[in-house]
Amino acid sequence: REVEEVRERECVLCMAAPRTVRLACGHAAYCRACLELAVSRPDPACPYCRQRVDRRGMVASEAVANQDTFVRPLLRPSTRRRSEARAGLLV
């Protein structure tokens, strides 16, 4: 069970580091090191929902890897940005 949980929390690109970046769509898929590779691809998209990926609304934090779910409830963009800015989590 613990091995499965560790694998579920690994970056989908390198499969070695924990997922520490939450995309604007709410999915966490990448570690910080792989983020540059992911966004440098032509038409980058979330590997789960295919929503376009850019740096706006991303959250990079070790806390992302420790959260119980890799999808956060969607908030209105202005509310989310204020709450993440207060927490110092915006990329």
Portion of the chain with pLDDT greater than 70, in percent: 65
The pTM of the full predicted model, rounded to 2 decimals, is: 0.66
Please determine, for residue 82, whether its predicted confidence score (pLDDT) is greater than 60: no
On average, the pLDDT of the chain sits at: 76
Please determine, for residue 87, whether its predicted confidence score (pLDDT) is greater than 70: no
Token reading at 40: 């440098």
Token reading at 34: 């792989």
Please determine, for residue 36, whether its predicted confidence score (pLDDT) is greater than 70: yes
Q: Regarding predicted confidence, which is higher, 50 or 67?
A: 50
Please determine, for residue 46, whether its predicted confidence score (pLDDT) is greater than 80: yes
With beta carbons less than 8 A apart as the criterion, state whether 19 and 31 touch: yes
